[in-house]
Structure 1
Amino acid sequence: MSSSDIFIGETIGTALLILLGGGVCAAVTFKRSKAYEAGWVAIAFGWGFAVLTGAYLAGGVSGAHLNPAVTLGLAVEGGTEWSDVPVYLAGELLGAMIGAVLVWITYYGQFQAHLTDPEIVGQAGGDKKPASDEPGPVLGIFSTAPEIRNAAQNMATEIIATFVLVIAILTQGLNDDGNGLGPLGALITALVVVGIGLSLGGPTGYAINPVRDLGPRIVHSLLPLPNKGSSDWTYAWVPVAGPLIGGAIAGGVYNIAFA
């Protein structure tokens, strides 16, 4: 496949992934949403279906990595050329940012209502208004955060969860060329993502994808959202570094144990 195929496929596929994944987070978060407080199970399945949609769309174009950890794991395993890695990463990051913007457009009215609600941000004399250096009430729509802030544990959680994802892709989900997801692999991967969310997502929100976290976090920092608080950049390195390490380990383990 050409560099343009890779870039276009990864951009569009990742944009859809983040649109649907971020969309379910928004649907569950906003008081003025029909899915308000639908819960963690809805989020886990929403992200699984988001992966399924993006992977089916991009699978025949770019191999549907949609995730730098997957790209790195495939490069270590040997299915993806190292020279193609920067093209994959560029498309994935751009697509993640586009997807986050589309979530904002889709839920624009809900963002405005939520972030000006006195019960949410403590306006009109309340005491809940987020400080500019504290994460605000909608950051969770864009990016992940740990329930307990412990860098070592948070990093370990992301490494383990991403290892599960990438090793499952390498052993069960590759297309005939070995450089991305096939149709059955897309379904398997979506189900694995649901399983990771339900089983391993509790501590950190299971980024398991650097651009899933970084791209929307950048968009959060740039959007003109009232009372949005900080984008929590002190934590942002964990959901980038952890998945990359987990993906690389999975590629190495595959070469040792399965190749």
Structure 2
Amino acid sequence: MEYSLMTKLAAEFLGTAILMIFGNGSVANVELKNTKGHHAGWLNIAMGYGFGVMFPVLMFGAVSGAHINPAMTIAQAVNGMFPWSEVLPYIVAQLLGALVGQLVVYITYYPHYKETEEAEAILGSFCTTDAHNDKVNYFLNEFFGTLVLVVGALCCLVLPWGKADPAAASIVVGFIVWGLVTSMGGPTGPGLNPARDLMPRLLHQILPIPHKGDSRWGEAWIPVVAPIAGAIVGAWMFQFFA
């Protein structure tokens, strides 16, 4: 069934919002003071992001492709897998979805944002940073992490076995994200998605959160540019080897 562009955009909006609620919501649960999950650990965060991708792909994969990531949309268009005419509308829907999803996280954890005094913990529930404070390391990790994500996701969703059983393929994509966060997520968070970093960082800048510290705009280009570059290479590799 072919859906209208507006329906596809609604799916991208809702899917990206769900990604933020599950993903950054799990970070807020672990990092913010006096939550039930305070200091629950990295696996809690990895699970949140894994499910945050798995569920939108299960829900909306058949509607919009469930890109929920501007890097995936751009990479597929560059490699002739997606129409350029729909790229900008998809990206706008994804950015707005990320904004709304992060706002839901902020609202639901509002008391804990007021209680938390550690600026890095607050920032981490919005966007990524490099643990080594090294912009080269930041770029490389976001580049290779997104490359692996895109290759893995396309192998699951585009190859014949995935098309024959999209539910199984969607579940595997979620496990790929879960695995990536546990294995390659230590240095940067990770982002792997320009919308997931850019719009929450913007909210971090404008929301009146005590002790929030700096939004670190000087490095904000990295989790935008690096995932797009990695995704383009990943989509090219998929087409070359598939």
Q: TM-score w.r.t. structure 1 length?
A: 0.86
Which residue matches 1:216? Answer: 200
Which residue matches 1:185? Answer: 169
CA distance in 2, matches of 1:52, 1:61: 15
RMSD: 2.0
Q: What is the SS of the residue equivalent to 2:7?
A: helix
1:247 aligned to 2:231? yes
Q: Give the paired residue count.
A: 238
The one-letter code matched in structure 2 to 1:218 is L
1:170 aligned to 2:167? no
CA distance in 1, matches of 2:210, 2:181: 30
Which residue matches 1:256? Answer: 240
CA distance in 2, matches of 1:154, 1:13: 26
Match of 2:10 among 4, 8, 11: 8
CA contact (8 A) 1:175 1:185 kept: no
1:155 aligned to 2:144? no
Shift in Å, 1:137: 4.0
**Residues 93-172 of structure 1: pairs in structure 2 closer than 5 A:** 93-114=95-116, 120=117, 136-172=120-156
CA contact (8 A) 1:97 1:216 kept: yes
CA contact (8 A) 1:63 1:182 kept: no
CA contact (8 A) 1:221 1:231 kept: yes
Match of 1:34 among 24, 33, 36: 36
CA contact (8 A) 2:74 2:232 kept: yes
Match of 2:191 among 198, 207, 221: 207
CA contact (8 A) 1:77 1:254 kept: no
CA distance in 2, matches of 1:210, 1:243: 7
CA contact (8 A) 1:6 1:87 kept: no
CA contact (8 A) 1:136 1:230 kept: no
The one-letter code matched in structure 2 to 1:18 is M
Shift in Å, 1:76: 2.9
CA contact (8 A) 1:174 1:182 kept: no
CA distance in 2, matches of 1:211, 1:19: 13
The one-letter code matched in structure 1 to 2:105 is V
Which of 221-230 and 15-24 deviates more? Answer: 221-230
Q: TM-score w.r.t. structure 2 length?
A: 0.92
Which residue matches 1:45? Answer: 47
What are structure 1's unaligned runs of at least 5 residues? 115-119, 122-134
1:67 aligned to 2:89? no
- The higher radius of gyration belongs to 1
Q: Which has the larger helix fraction?
A: 2
1:86 aligned to 2:88? yes
CA contact (8 A) 2:70 2:90 kept: yes
Match of 1:237 among 221, 224, 227: 221
What are structure 2's unaligned runs of at least 5 residues? none
Q: What is the SS of the residue equivalent to 2:34?
A: coil
Shift in Å, 1:42: 1.0
